[in-house]
Amino acid sequence: MSILVNKNSRVIVQGITGSEGDFHSKQMLEYGTNIVGGVTPGKGGQYAVDEKIRVFDSVEESVDQTNADTSIIFVPPPFAADAIIEASYAGVEIVVCITEGVPLHDMIKVKQVTNKNGTRLIGPNCPGIITVDECKLGIMPGFICKKGSIGVVSKSGTLTYEAIDQLVNVGLGQTTAVGIGGDPIIGTTMRDCLELFEKDPDTEGVVIIGEIGGQMEIEAANWAKDNMSKPIAGFIAGQTAPPGKRMGHAGAIVSGGNDTAEAKMKVLSDCGISVSESVADIGRIMKSLMN
């Protein structure tokens, strides 16, 4: 099995006629993702991605015509929030937003709408999600993955790829890898993903990759301590970051409390998570937990 998406997910691409939407739609189709339509206002009736995918003017129309249940968004930051909200009101169950730089006040409104409608949002500012050999939504390189039993959840796109590569190198494949994004306000949290992986019978272990700033890793660790039956390997990026300075992601800023890398690593360890001090040891630690 998997979490969130699989070979049966019926996907629409919002912004499919743009350069990013076109390029990554081709990659997703090649991986086997079931893309059933695209959305670009004003271009309804056209066909995109080498004339393979029908374009609709609205998400509502595309859902009515294709029974889509999943959407991935490749639109510029000023329009990303409206795209998420449109998908939510159209009844799309899973929405993945790749867009970086979505204004914070826009995301406050997005969270209100998605929570009200029961929409599962991944992102924004994330690499997407991949269920190995079934469905790829976003910009993750599918060729580095191998089907297996380890779930991956990460705030960082590049560290997601690094973790996957390390797992493969030690002989461990993945069920689903989720890049949740590093913005201050995102849709799906690390704890949400742990809950889903705990319920997935094919996931036997989980790798979590966090970073400085915020409380998400701490909340996930505290939940896992009392509820997770599967082994977890963890890593916190930003161990040398100076206090008060943003590092990379908009949410990666230490305020001086328990959101430093050192503090988070201690909490994770106290909650039974095997913490790696170096990103280079993630695969090895996960392997040791599976033996």
pTM for this prediction: 0.93
pLDDT of residue 239: 66
Given pLDDT bands bounded at 50, 70 and 90, which one contains residue 278? confident
- E strand segments, 114-204: 120-122, 128-131, 135-138, 147-154, 174-179
Q: How far apart are CA 3 and CA 197, in angstroms?
A: 7
Q: Tens digits of per-residue pLDDT, 136-162?
A: 999 999 999 999 999 999 998 888 999
Instruction: Kindly list the catalytic residues.
Output: 249
Q: How far apart are CA 235 and CA 218, in angstroms?
A: 12
Given pLDDT bands bounded at 50, 70 and 90, which one contains residue 223? very high
What six digits make up the tokens of 130?
């991949």
Cβ neighbors of 124 (< 8 A, separation 6 or more) are: 73, 80, 84, 97, 98, 99, 100, 102, 107, 181, 183, 186, 187
- Assess whether pLDDT exceeds 50 at residue 63: yes
Q: Which residue has the tokens 């705030």?
A: 155
Q: How far apart are CA 75 and CA 54, in angstroms?
A: 18
Average pLDDT over residues 192-208: 98
Question: Do 11-122 and 141-290 agree at the fold level?
Answer: yes
61 φ/ψ angles, rounded to the nearest 5 degrees: -65, -45
CB of 276 closer than 8 Å to CB of 282 = yes
CB of 124 closer than 8 Å to CB of 181 = yes
* Nearest Cα to Cα of residue 259 among 58, 249, 48: 249
Q: Which residue has the tokens 């809950």?
A: 195
What six digits make up the tokens of 149?
């039993």
Given pLDDT bands bounded at 50, 70 and 90, which one contains residue 71? very high
In the chain, where are the structural domains located?
11-122, 141-290
Q: Tens digits of per-residue pLDDT, 90-129?
A: 999 999 999 999 999 999 999 999 999 999 999 999 999 9
* Nearest Cα to Cα of residue 140 among 31, 15, 19, 21: 31
CATH number 3.40.47.10 is the correct assignment for the domain at 11-122: no
141-290 CATH pick, 1.10.10.60, 3.40.470.10, 3.40.50.261, 2.60.40.180: 3.40.50.261
